[in-house]
Amino acid sequence: MRASLIQIGVDDDESIDSRRERAASLVREQAGADLVVLPELWTTGAFAYESFAAEAEPLEGPTYEVMAKAASDAGVWLHAGSIPERDPDGPLYNTSLVFSPDGQLAAAYRKIHRFGFDKGEAVLMGAGSSLVTVRLPGTAAGLATCYDLRFPELFRGLVDAGAELLVIPAGWPERRRSHWTLLAQARAVENQAYVLACGTAGTHAGVPQAGHSIVVDPWGEVLGEAGAGEEVLTVELDPGRVSTTREQFPALKDRVLGLDAPRR
C-alpha cells in the first residue's frame, strides 16, 4: 500500500482559492498511490482563528467539490484533511473528509479535542463526539485530528473499533515539534498500528508550522519523515504487519480495564 502525505505550505500571502487549486493538482499528481492525505484546516490555516467564521463552508461546499473530483481524477483514497465546516443548524466544526477513488464521501470526522484552552478553536468551534473509522481495501483507518494526538484514550477507542491505520491531519506548530514526533511514535507503539500524521509547512497567522509529517509503523519505527518545507512524503506500508505485530507481541491483549479507583 502506497501512502502519500501532502505537507502543503499554508502562508498568509496565498489566497484560499489558489491553495485549493494547488492542493487538487498535488492530489492528481499522486495517481498510483493508494491513499493520499492532506493536513488540518489547510484552506485557512489551523491558527487563523479570525478567518474561521468567514471561510467556513457547508460540508458539501467548495473544498468538498474540488477534493471529490481530485480523488476520482487520481483514482485514490483521499483523506482531504479538514475544513472549517458550517453546520446549518449548529456551530462550526473542524471536519475531516475522506473520499473513495470514485469521488464519493466515505467518512466525515468532527475533531473531538479542540485546541486553545479558553481561546481560539476551543471557543470558535463545536466539539465532535463520535469516533470514526473507514474501511480501506485490506485494512481500516481510524480518524483523529491534530490536538487529538495528545489523548490516547481516543486512539484506544479507534483500535477497539478495528483501526489498523491511524490517520492524523494536523496544523502543528514548530514550537512543539518534539511533542509531535514523540506522540506520533507513542500512538503507534501503544496501539500497534500505523500512524500517518500529516502537518502543514509555512507560517500563517504568525505561527511557524512544524512540517515534519511522519509515518510510523506498528513497531514504532519511523518509515518516513518530511522536512520543514512543502513536500510530498511517500511511503510503502504493509497493512498485514499490524496483525503480525499484534500476534507476535500481544500487549494489547494484556489490557486491564475497569480498575478500582484509589482508596481515600
Q: Which residues are catalytic?
A: 40, 111, 146
Q: Kindly tell me which of 46 and 83 has the beta carbon lying closer to ligand LYUYDEPV.
A: 46
Question: Between residues 142 and 171, which has the closer beta carbon with respect to ligand LYUYDEPV?
Answer: 171
Q: Which of 9, 81, 169, 173 binds ligand LYUYDEPV (CB under 6 A)?
A: 173
Q: Which range, of 125-133, 169-177, 189-197, 217-225, touches ligand LYUYDEPV by CB under 6 A?
A: 169-177
Site stretch for ligand LYUYDEPV (CB under 6 A), options 23-31, 142-150, 213-221, 239-247:
142-150
Q: How far apart are CA 33 and CA 162, in angstroms?
A: 23
Contact status: 172 vs ligand LYUYDEPV (CB under 6 A): yes
* 150 lies in the binding site for ligand LYUYDEPV (CB under 6 A): yes
Distance in angstroms (rounded) separating the CA atoms of residues 25 and 120: 31
- Residue 92 belongs to what H/E stretch? strand 92-99
Task: Check binding of 211 to ligand LYUYDEPV (CB under 6 A).
Answer: no
Q: How far apart are CA 247 and CA 249, in angstroms?
A: 6
Integer Cα distance of 126 and 121 in angstroms: 8
Q: Distance of CA 86 to CAs 29, 121, 148, 185, 227, Å?
A: 30, 14, 21, 33, 33
Burial class (CB in 10 A: 0-12, 13-18, 19+), 137: exposed
Site for ligand LYUYDEPV in 36-55 (CB under 6 A): 40, 46
Residue 232's closest CA among 31, 27, 1? 27
**In angstroms, what is the minimal distance from the CB of 262 to ligand LYUYDEPV?**
28
**Interface size with ligand LYUYDEPV, residues (CB under 6 A):** 11
Show Cβ contacts of residue 121 under 8 Å, excluding neighbours closer than 6 positions.
46, 49, 52, 94, 114, 115
DSSP letters spanning 204-215: ETTEEB----EE
CA–chain centroid gap for 24, Å, is 17
Q: Judged by CB, which is closer to ligand LYUYDEPV: 109, or 115?
A: 115
For ligand LYUYDEPV, the binding residue among 84, 171, 199, 239 (CB under 6 A) is 171
- Chosen residue from 32, 119, 138, 176 binding ligand LYUYDEPV by CB under 6 A: 176
Q: How far is the CB of 226 from ligand LYUYDEPV (least distance, A)?
A: 17
φ and ψ at residue 152, rounded to 5 degrees: -60, -30
CB of 77 or CB of 115, closer to ligand LYUYDEPV? 115
* Spatial CA neighbour of 81 closest among 33, 146, 147: 146
x/- string (CB under 6 A) for ligand LYUYDEPV, residues 113-132? Answer: --x-----------------
Per CB under 6 A, 146 contacts ligand LYUYDEPV: yes
Binding site for ligand LYUYDEPV (CB under 6 A): 40, 46, 115, 146-147, 150, 171-173, 176, 179
